[in-house]
Structure 1
């Protein structure tokens, strides 16, 4: 959709409806051909070349280095910004010329073909100017671009399938996340690992970013996001459990996450994962919120099977107090009681019936 912007005599955008002529985004990186081999140390976009662009600043150019964000110094960020005609100065001129103050929203403004091309130009790594502004922590520019961008352009994915929301979340930028979510960008788009932006927040423990996404999402959209699995079969709940981010677990539970959803490879629930990690706090949280204590994996193992097999008497006790069935058999035809054979600490947790002969108790276990 080519959007045209007519200028009034004062140089501000007059209200014009977008035409139906389609525009194409040039991508020198070529068409995406399915999932690529993923390198977890990679984030798309061009830090070195971008930093070489001169820009006048009103304040100090030094930025605090002590933000709690993933270290990106050694990560691949973009190699091709120098190939783009975009510059910080031209961006500033464009923002000044196309002041959003004259429009109620980005959809009320109309842009010339040149301006549309400017907003949608991508580097060879697939990044738009909004991707780059977020990566290089140019929050002021990013917020102005969010105001300028039509909503559909803010869901453009780069060559690693990252949207601006993925990057703002990865770099722990809650104000940018808030601005994007309020513009109704998609929360369901998945990056090259199959992660949604909420997966990213749960992976790194970024509660503020997760909170902005959850509280600004529609109920139906939130259900889809909470149930989405990445390519490893993990939902956001599974990721938060595996990373032991208990505050995020509470946030997800408070907002209706399905505690019994199974991951896609072995059928583990979050409770199984917490048991495997010997995370008694997470086990207690999940049980108190109503997680199914007898949920079985694809191989038939319950959480109690795992706790007994790992000789974790503390967690086995929590599960027994929650009413775990000791006699459920897995696909190996083993009960938790079978696995506890020889472990007196765990056997002591299991109640046994008194042995009676002809109605008389000959051995009591009470």
Structure 2
């Protein structure tokens, strides 16, 4: 099989596994040939999979608000209608334990369809998620080898990434139960859980954190909640920047380190909460055990950031929690120095404004 073509803006191979190795035993899908209308059925068994006439679609891509591809180049009708023949299932939410035909009951063409790879690197599992076809997804999960679930497309997204991206907790739960990896990273270095935090999909995050593969589907992929994406952010950092306290609580309950530093400047979640100027988040993190005097790479504590921004309420909250106002950063500045500097700037601006106002009154 020829290698999957890479996009020009993808991460290099050293950043994440492309999943190409798992394709070596799979065959590409040949050009479909319509089955004769008069062909008899073999004893009532599954029908041969064929493209129905007139369902060919022009290449078509959809993008969501942040520019990530969320569709393939194939119309959904050419995917879901014929593949319902594999099981005839109609489910709102994939149920991995539903009865399915045994592997031997499938025709060669149906097996070829299940191992199809699109020009975008999408497997049928990706496409079932993209087109919100739970019956097709259910068939794939029951019939395909576990390693196929972890194949990454040309954007290094697994089907699990896409299920989270499109807020499909039922599909996320089904994929996790069937052993899909939760640690693979896409071209941005994001795991499926990073994506859940960025898009604030709490139900999907819960499925990823609490779900476990069923017996016989391989070892559990332990989640590293301290894993950083290419921007140096853990899931807790992202949830904090999104000001999403329920997500933060969920991550901390499942073992996220509250004092982990992000990879660019060494900020902890408490530093980031100060930068959001959300006093409630600051109080929540302090109550959850965050170190109030945690230092960035430049020596700044959360109190340095609050004082330097003139955030008097947050500065007071930090001081009440025991923050040291005399700690010095690499510039030899204390939070107290920064607060006085800010007050001096405000005082100068206020004095200048008062002087201008008095002059205007004299002129009139």
Q: Normalised by the size of structure 1, how large is the TM-score?
A: 0.69
Q: Do the aligned partners of residues 142 and 73 (structure 1) sit closer, same or farther apart at CA in structure 2, a change above 3 Å counting?
A: farther
Q: Do the aligned partners of residues 251 and 134 (structure 1) sit closer, same or farther apart at CA in structure 2, a change above 3 Å counting?
A: same
Preserved CA contact (<8 Å) 1:78 1:125: no
Cα deviation for residue 101 of structure 1 reads 3.0
Cα deviation for residue 80 of structure 1 reads 3.7
Q: Do the aligned partners of residues 89 and 297 (structure 1) sit closer, same or farther apart at CA in structure 2, a change above 3 Å counting?
A: same
- CA distance, structure 2, for counterparts of residue 294 and residue 181 of structure 1: 39
**Equivalent residue, structure 2, for 1:101:** 99
**Equivalent residue, structure 2, for 1:325:** 324
- CA distance, structure 2, for counterparts of residue 94 and residue 27 of structure 1: 28
Deviations 1:186-217 (A, max 9, x none): 10001111110000110111100000110115
Deviations 1:296-347 (A, max 9, x none): 00010000000000110111111111111111110101111111225679xx
Q: Do the aligned partners of residues 95 and 136 (structure 1) sit closer, same or farther apart at CA in structure 2, a change above 3 Å counting?
A: same
Q: Do the aligned partners of residues 74 and 229 (structure 1) sit closer, same or farther apart at CA in structure 2, a change above 3 Å counting?
A: closer
Q: Do the aligned partners of residues 102 and 247 (structure 1) sit closer, same or farther apart at CA in structure 2, a change above 3 Å counting?
A: closer
User: Equivalent of 1:92, from 75, 84, 89?
Assistant: 84
**Equivalent residue, structure 2, for 1:268:** 267
**Equivalent residue, structure 2, for 1:284:** 283
- CA distance, structure 1, for counterparts of residue 112 and residue 263 of structure 2: 41
- CA distance, structure 2, for counterparts of residue 116 and residue 270 of structure 1: 48
- CA distance, structure 2, for counterparts of residue 321 and residue 223 of structure 1: 35
User: Equivalent of 2:140, from 145, 159, 174?
Assistant: 145
- CA distance, structure 2, for counterparts of residue 192 and residue 177 of structure 1: 20
- CA distance, structure 2, for counterparts of residue 75 and residue 300 of structure 1: 37
Q: Do the aligned partners of residues 220 and 276 (structure 1) sit closer, same or farther apart at CA in structure 2, a change above 3 Å counting?
A: farther
- CA distance, structure 1, for counterparts of residue 275 and residue 9 of structure 2: 37
**Equivalent residue, structure 2, for 1:81:** 74
**Equivalent residue, structure 2, for 1:12:** none
Q: Confirm whether residue 336 of structure 1 aligns to residue 335 of structure 2.
A: yes
- CA distance, structure 1, for counterparts of residue 149 and residue 65 of structure 2: 23
Q: Normalised by the size of structure 2, how large is the TM-score?
A: 0.69
Aligned residues: CA RMSD: 3.5
**Equivalent residue, structure 1, for 2:294:** 295
Give the unaligned 5+ runs of structure 2: 13-50, 57-62, 90-96, 214-218, 345-364
Cα deviation for residue 78 of structure 1 reads 4.8
- CA distance, structure 1, for counterparts of residue 231 and residue 252 of structure 2: 22
Deviations 1:237-272 (A, max 9, x none): 011011111110111111121001011011011100
Q: Do the aligned partners of residues 72 and 269 (structure 1) sit closer, same or farther apart at CA in structure 2, a change above 3 Å counting?
A: closer
Q: Confirm whether residue 240 of structure 1 aligns to residue 239 of structure 2.
A: yes
**Equivalent residue, structure 1, for 2:125:** 130
